[in-house]
Amino acid sequence: MQIALNDVLKDDGKILRVDADFGPDTFEMKLGKYPITRKTPVSLVLTNKGKRNLLIQGRMDLTILIPCGRCLEEVPVEFELDFEKKIDMNLTEEERREALDECAYIHGYDLDVDELVYSEILVNWPLRVLCKEDCKGICSICGKNLNHGTCDCDHTDLDPRMAQIRDIFNKFKEV
Protein backbone atom coordinates (compact mmCIF):
# COMPACT_ATOMS: atom_id res chain seq x y z
CA MET A 1 0.00 0.00 0.00
CA GLN A 2 1.21 3.50 -0.92
CA ILE A 3 0.53 6.59 1.17
CA ALA A 4 0.82 10.00 -0.47
CA LEU A 5 2.90 12.35 1.66
CA ASN A 6 2.09 15.60 -0.18
CA ASP A 7 -0.77 16.44 2.11
CA VAL A 8 1.03 16.04 5.43
CA LEU A 9 4.05 17.91 4.06
CA LYS A 10 1.95 20.99 3.17
CA ASP A 11 1.59 22.37 6.69
CA ASP A 12 4.11 22.33 9.54
CA GLY A 13 2.80 20.46 12.54
CA LYS A 14 0.29 18.49 10.52
CA ILE A 15 -0.35 14.94 11.71
CA LEU A 16 -1.72 12.13 9.60
CA ARG A 17 -2.93 8.91 11.22
CA VAL A 18 -3.43 5.93 8.93
CA ASP A 19 -4.15 2.25 9.38
CA ALA A 20 -2.46 0.72 6.39
CA ASP A 21 -2.46 -2.80 5.02
CA PHE A 22 0.64 -4.89 4.63
CA GLY A 23 -0.01 -6.78 1.41
CA PRO A 24 2.23 -9.88 1.29
CA ASP A 25 1.15 -13.23 2.79
CA THR A 26 4.67 -14.59 2.61
CA PHE A 27 7.92 -13.04 3.65
CA GLU A 28 10.57 -13.58 1.00
CA MET A 29 14.28 -13.12 1.30
CA LYS A 30 17.47 -14.78 0.09
CA LEU A 31 17.20 -17.52 2.74
CA GLY A 32 13.74 -18.56 1.66
CA LYS A 33 10.00 -17.95 1.77
CA TYR A 34 8.12 -17.85 5.05
CA PRO A 35 4.31 -17.89 5.43
CA ILE A 36 2.73 -15.01 7.34
CA THR A 37 -0.16 -16.49 9.31
CA ARG A 38 -1.35 -13.40 11.16
CA LYS A 39 -1.02 -9.66 10.70
CA THR A 40 -2.62 -6.59 12.17
CA PRO A 41 -3.01 -3.38 10.17
CA VAL A 42 0.03 -1.11 10.25
CA SER A 43 -0.83 1.80 12.56
CA LEU A 44 1.03 4.80 11.24
CA VAL A 45 1.38 8.31 12.58
CA LEU A 46 3.05 10.72 10.18
CA THR A 47 4.06 14.05 11.67
CA ASN A 48 5.31 17.07 9.80
CA LYS A 49 8.01 18.37 12.16
CA GLY A 50 8.58 21.51 10.08
CA LYS A 51 11.25 22.42 7.53
CA ARG A 52 10.16 19.40 5.50
CA ASN A 53 11.18 16.96 8.21
CA LEU A 54 8.88 14.02 8.54
CA LEU A 55 8.52 11.68 11.50
CA ILE A 56 7.06 8.26 10.79
CA GLN A 57 5.92 6.18 13.76
CA GLY A 58 4.46 2.75 13.24
CA ARG A 59 3.27 -0.36 15.05
CA MET A 60 2.27 -3.74 13.77
CA ASP A 61 2.06 -7.32 15.05
CA LEU A 62 2.48 -10.35 12.88
CA THR A 63 3.24 -14.06 13.05
CA ILE A 64 5.62 -15.74 10.62
CA LEU A 65 6.31 -19.47 10.33
CA ILE A 66 10.06 -20.09 10.50
CA PRO A 67 11.59 -23.59 10.44
CA CYS A 68 13.28 -24.79 13.64
CA GLY A 69 17.05 -24.60 13.21
CA ARG A 70 17.45 -28.25 14.25
CA CYS A 71 14.39 -30.27 13.19
CA LEU A 72 13.02 -27.93 10.47
CA GLU A 73 9.49 -28.06 11.84
CA GLU A 74 7.75 -24.71 11.35
CA VAL A 75 7.60 -22.53 14.44
CA PRO A 76 5.17 -19.59 14.71
CA VAL A 77 7.34 -16.59 15.58
CA GLU A 78 5.66 -13.42 16.83
CA PHE A 79 6.93 -10.05 15.67
CA GLU A 80 5.89 -6.90 17.51
CA LEU A 81 7.11 -4.12 15.31
CA ASP A 82 7.41 -0.67 16.83
CA PHE A 83 9.45 1.77 14.83
CA GLU A 84 10.23 5.42 14.35
CA LYS A 85 11.84 7.00 11.29
CA LYS A 86 12.97 10.54 10.72
CA ILE A 87 12.98 11.53 7.10
CA ASP A 88 14.49 14.71 5.72
CA MET A 89 12.37 15.50 2.68
CA ASN A 90 14.78 18.28 1.66
CA LEU A 91 17.12 15.61 0.41
CA THR A 92 16.58 14.01 -2.92
CA GLU A 93 15.76 10.34 -3.07
CA GLU A 94 19.37 9.62 -4.00
CA GLU A 95 20.86 11.74 -1.23
CA ARG A 96 18.62 9.99 1.31
CA ARG A 97 19.66 6.61 0.04
CA GLU A 98 23.32 7.54 0.40
CA ALA A 99 22.81 8.92 3.90
CA LEU A 100 20.76 6.04 5.27
CA ASP A 101 20.72 3.42 2.54
CA GLU A 102 17.48 2.05 3.95
CA CYS A 103 15.01 4.58 2.63
CA ALA A 104 13.89 2.41 -0.24
CA TYR A 105 10.36 2.78 1.11
CA ILE A 106 10.00 6.40 0.01
CA HIS A 107 9.58 7.04 -3.68
CA GLY A 108 9.19 10.69 -4.49
CA TYR A 109 6.30 11.73 -2.25
CA ASP A 110 4.90 8.27 -1.69
CA LEU A 111 5.49 6.04 1.31
CA ASP A 112 5.57 2.37 0.38
CA VAL A 113 4.17 0.66 3.49
CA ASP A 114 5.05 -2.86 2.31
CA GLU A 115 8.70 -1.94 1.87
CA LEU A 116 8.84 -0.13 5.18
CA VAL A 117 7.40 -3.12 7.06
CA TYR A 118 9.62 -5.50 5.08
CA SER A 119 12.76 -3.70 6.26
CA GLU A 120 11.48 -3.73 9.86
CA ILE A 121 10.83 -7.48 9.76
CA LEU A 122 14.34 -8.01 8.43
CA VAL A 123 15.86 -5.95 11.26
CA ASN A 124 13.89 -7.96 13.82
CA TRP A 125 14.54 -11.37 12.25
CA PRO A 126 15.61 -13.82 15.01
CA LEU A 127 19.17 -15.14 14.88
CA ARG A 128 18.09 -18.59 15.99
CA VAL A 129 14.71 -20.28 15.97
CA LEU A 130 14.12 -23.49 17.93
CA CYS A 131 10.78 -25.30 18.37
CA LYS A 132 11.90 -25.87 21.97
CA GLU A 133 15.16 -25.37 23.84
CA ASP A 134 15.92 -29.13 23.98
CA CYS A 135 14.89 -29.94 20.41
CA LYS A 136 16.61 -33.23 19.50
CA GLY A 137 16.83 -32.41 15.80
CA ILE A 138 16.67 -34.96 13.01
CA CYS A 139 18.57 -38.21 12.49
CA SER A 140 21.47 -37.56 10.12
CA ILE A 141 20.92 -40.96 8.49
CA CYS A 142 17.16 -41.43 7.99
CA GLY A 143 16.00 -37.86 8.55
CA LYS A 144 13.45 -38.79 11.21
CA ASN A 145 12.43 -36.03 13.61
CA LEU A 146 13.89 -37.39 16.87
CA ASN A 147 11.42 -35.36 18.95
CA HIS A 148 8.79 -37.85 17.79
CA GLY A 149 10.73 -40.92 18.94
CA THR A 150 13.95 -42.74 18.19
CA CYS A 151 14.84 -44.44 14.92
CA ASP A 152 16.53 -47.77 14.22
CA CYS A 153 19.61 -46.30 12.59
CA ASP A 154 22.96 -47.53 13.81
CA HIS A 155 24.65 -44.32 14.82
CA THR A 156 27.95 -46.04 15.58
CA ASP A 157 28.41 -46.23 11.79
CA LEU A 158 29.27 -42.57 11.95
CA ASP A 159 32.67 -43.52 13.38
CA PRO A 160 34.70 -45.12 10.56
CA ARG A 161 37.02 -46.96 12.97
CA MET A 162 34.03 -48.71 14.55
CA ALA A 163 32.79 -49.72 11.12
CA GLN A 164 36.13 -51.41 10.36
CA ILE A 165 36.05 -53.42 13.56
CA ARG A 166 32.52 -54.55 12.77
CA ASP A 167 33.65 -55.65 9.31
CA ILE A 168 36.27 -57.89 10.89
CA PHE A 169 33.74 -59.49 13.21
CA ASN A 170 31.34 -60.03 10.33
CA LYS A 171 34.05 -61.81 8.38
CA PHE A 172 34.62 -64.19 11.28
CA LYS A 173 30.90 -64.91 11.44
CA GLU A 174 30.82 -65.80 7.74
CA VAL A 175 33.50 -68.46 8.20
Size of the site for Zn ion (CB under 5 A): 11
Which residue in the set 99, 142, 162, 165 belongs to the binding site for Zn ion (CB under 5 A)?
Answer: 142
Strand order in the sheet with 2-4: 2-4, 110-112, 106-107
131 scored as a contact of Zn ion (CB under 5 A): yes
Which phi and psi angles does 153 have, rounded to 5°? -65, 145
In the bound state with Zn ion, the residue whose beta carbon lies nearer, of 55 and 130, is 130
In the bound state with Zn ion, the residue whose beta carbon lies nearer, of 91 and 153, is 153
In the bound state with Zn ion, the residue whose beta carbon lies nearer, of 39 and 70, is 70
58-117 binders of Zn ion (CB under 5 A): 68, 70-71
In the bound state with Zn ion, the residue whose beta carbon lies nearer, of 127 and 168, is 127
DSSP 3-66: EE-HHHHHSTT-EEEEEE----SEEEETTEEEEEEEE--EEEEEEE-STTEEEEEEEEEEEEEE
Contact set with Zn ion (CB under 5 A): 68, 70-71, 131, 135, 139, 141-142, 144, 151, 153
